[in-house]
Structure 1
Amino acid sequence: MTTFQIFSNLPIELRAAIWRHTVEPRTVEVRTDKLIGYSTELKPPSYWLATPVPAALQTCREARKLGLYQQVRMRWSSTHAEDRYVWINLEIDVVSIGTCRLGSLKQIAPLIKKLRFERENTNESWLHWETQDIKLFENVRDIHVDCADGLGDWQGASKENYWPWGFKNLYFIDPDDGEILRSDVLDLMLLNS
């Protein structure tokens, strides 16, 4: 890779504009040891990440100081007392939690604006307990649900459960082909089939 030798000689405004153009939406994979299912266990969850630090933040201090990403602090493990952090651009990054319980993210839930998770709408834990935990994500604007049991089982879910910001920004993902459908489109499609 060629080094752009005169970059540090450019005006700060131009360098800042260049750094801002390096920001792209990412899917930040956050996982915990608290998977779906009801648990009375009092031990706090342990977390780990599958997403690397953005390249711009690894490049230089100047990029970190611009606030392109925020440090989101979490208690990563019940055995380690110190908080650790993940770099997230809360405006554009999607926080994907897979099958981890929604309640296990309650310490950062109000910060998340784009959420993705995998569920079966026929799962008793989801229906009876976890649907209540959606309320923890009070500032979420977009929710993407990987429908592990197929799209058909999610017909009407947009009206049966509480979804922050309503169901216009609720999307369901087909497990077979990855097609993404907005909830109202899914309901109409399944109603007419």
Structure 2
Amino acid sequence: MNTPFIKNHQFNFIKQQVKNLQSTLMTVSDPKVIEGARFGAEAKIFEQFLAITNEQKQLFAPLLTLKKPEEFQEFVTSLTPYLSSFPKVTEKQIQKLFPKNKKLKTPNLDALNYTALTYIGWIDIATNKMFFVYEQNNQIVGIEGRFTATNKKNVCSLCNGVAEVALFSAITKTKNAKYADYYKAVGNYMCIDSAACNAKIKDLTYLESFIASVLENA
């Protein structure tokens, strides 16, 4: 039985390692360098998982023998049955995450490919807001903020890719022992196209710290 264990960001990371390895094979002829690249790619992939079984490790054994371009593609395709899915959410669940938005417009949830999601993100032009839904500590959470279009490309804080971005600003209330509650904006440049962002994100460190910083002061 194929038990899903590869999350979207991990799959993106794996594809990048496969691409790098394929590039090395095309440009390097030294067998020792190639061997080092093969074992290096395998080791980096294993580091993506807190606990990986020997059976799961065997899925990546082809990395040590791949040669032809079609073999690399076949290898990536062979991993798709093991992709874990982002929790499917309903419109009602999302509305509960943003109770102050009485006329919240959600994306077409039925059209989403949940195995290709690290987060669900969308823009509501009517309210000039961006919304994010994410699974954190086995709980679905949501954050919202104002977005300001930049009409230019820049580096996205979440996926580190260059794309058309908007400035996302989440307003949070911070409690302080010396002062009264005050509000501050937590802002970052984010991809306008969340699907493209999900296709590039390989590391959750910044995403999780950003969401935590917003929620802990909410």
* Bin for the TM-score computed over the shorter chain: under 0.3
What TM-score do the two structures reach when normalised by structure 1? 0.24
- The structure with the largest alpha-carbon Rg is 2
Q: Which has the higher contact order (CA 8 A, sep 6+)?
A: 2
